[in-house]
Structure 1
């Protein structure tokens, strides 16, 4: 287990780093930041509490632009998640399912490779806040002729502003065991931290996570936003668990395809199309592709950092018994009344 030694920097130094990180923000966003609570960040100098959730400054600017300009279409599909809970996998699976008539899972007789063999999933299914509305961009999404339009987001449900009427919009939310999400986040964000920021120790990161101070956290509020909507509007919101999908990918892909409006035919099932999609999009297959070892598909994040282990239960190698007890109690307190639960036994 990593050393509990915590490297600290002064608030003044952290503020200097924040000034550098945020120098290209709009004046409107900078003004908003002045009014928000803030805490030290994981990969950036600070996280700000915006609309009830902890976000990086650049994320807040993108969310503000999205909320002001995005116009949903009845056929839109949105893939939602909290970071490090299977986002890349869900993008790959959904793209393969929706486009399987245009792009056969097995390379066609002309030898054309499937797009997922030559493009990172984040290039095929763009993030609203990290791609389309990032850096003061206002995309003209009405020009996208193909339907359904498929987007991805980490934005909490309430901040999507899709109510009161969602019509036929489809939202797929993938949710991962909070124990594994924490460990994955800790590894990931320490690799991406801004220059000048020290690594966050496991113990310090765990405290922040349990306090809800993590990107788009508190994690329980993020989960419950989509969970509750999936119960109210099952035709609009599908709630899937990463752990369940790893255990039984076939039945979950059938559920996903039917919800998206692209169900598998009996003939496809006999031909093994579901298993072919599962293999094409598997962690093992995606990790070994050159396109996922090189380049940057999400802002300044190297693609190779998107694929670490993809395992269920890796947290047992990191968390002490007291940590397990503490996070278990938080989950019990925050989630039990909702009916949302996770298997956390080691």
Structure 2
């Protein structure tokens, strides 16, 4: 008789990261290893974050050692998919859509027990840079292929094997005016007295986490123009306008296109419904308590589900502020073929 080990099927990914992260992987920190490097970098305080200028971008100080290790040691698998975004540009939604679309064979989106009904999207798709910052890269090795991962790093800071086409990358961007509003609300969850003007000014002068924003966006835009087969560039506003069409694009890009039978069965609509803002915000797992896998362990879970709309900037920003940020972004993007409406 064959042994149980021989007959047990190896799980096929993507699987929820939290289901694999059982806490048994020993942690080590690269902070001490690269302490001198970090200390020598230009420093700037932005709200609750201490930033360091690393290779042209202002990164939270605790990201830098992990970024160095990530750049030097990460080995992508050919079927990996890296979900990238500037903070507060649709990260949580992209994670949910990508996971639901990629894992639908094992987890039908309409199933009551779907992982996204019991786990926050950040528990399903891990932040790579946070994993390396905590010295927990062995956890990535435990994930079965294909792996879904996320980063807030710009494309130019990704490891060379990734930017050379070693795996697929999906990037989502957002109107910078709405991003500023969302970022301010998010940061206020830990610093309630943070002024909107302070957040706005840090974005305008580029000294914001993972900024300058325009350089971050352009790094992925240029990569998508050069390698559209390896980098998919999405806009949050387009996702809002026609979620179904973009879910189809996303699934096809990840190598898991919807079949005619799935289309007829309504699977695309089921993914859209499962990952809709109202559906996700209403789930108990996304309302109660704090703590998720990875970067946001201390953030309240409901901080990731505020409004999920476009145009909310008009409720927070004066016309003069909006015109100023639009002008800065327009000048930075001039001649690239990318524009925000």
**TM-score greater than 0.5 by the shorter chain:** yes
SS at match of 1:191: coil
SS at match of 1:337: coil
Shift of 1:163: 5.0
Q: How does 1:98-247 map to 2 (within 5 A)?
A: 98-107=102-111, 113-130=113-130, 132-139=131-138, 141-144=140-143, 146-163=144-161, 166-167=164-165, 169-193=167-191, 199-247=193-241
Number of the residue aligned with 2:7? none
1:25–1:58: 8 Å Cα contact kept in structure 2? Answer: no
1:212–1:219: 8 Å Cα contact kept in structure 2? Answer: yes
Aligned equivalents of 1:229, 1:236: Cα separation in 2: 8
Number of the residue aligned with 2:330? 332
SS at match of 2:211: coil
Output one character per residue of 1:219-260: Cα deviation in whole Å (capped at 9) or x when no partner: 000000000000000000000000011011111111111111
SS at match of 1:137: coil
What TM-score does the superposition give when structure 2 sets the normalisation length?
Answer: 0.86
Aligned equivalents of 1:100, 1:129: Cα separation in 2: 26
Q: Is 1:296 aligned with 2:295? A: no
Aligned equivalents of 1:266, 1:25: Cα separation in 2: 48
Aligned equivalents of 2:173, 2:315: Cα separation in 1: 21
Unaligned ranges ≥5, structure 2: 1-28
Number of the residue aligned with 1:309? 307
Query: Could you say if the C-alpha distance between residues 82 and 252 of structure 1 is closer, same or farther in structure 2, counting changes exceeding 3 Å?
Result: same
Unaligned ranges ≥5, structure 1: 1-23
2:92–2:122: 8 Å Cα contact kept in structure 1? Answer: yes
Aligned length: 309
1:180–1:313: 8 Å Cα contact kept in structure 2? Answer: yes
| RMSD, aligned CA | 1.8
SS at match of 1:47: strand
Query: Could you say if the C-alpha distance between residues 25 and 98 of structure 1 is closer, same or farther in structure 2, counting changes exceeding 3 Å?
Result: closer
SS at match of 1:299: coil
2:44–2:207: 8 Å Cα contact kept in structure 1? Answer: yes
Aligned equivalents of 2:278, 2:297: Cα separation in 1: 24
What TM-score does the superposition give when structure 1 sets the normalisation length?
Answer: 0.85
Aligned equivalents of 2:163, 2:329: Cα separation in 1: 31
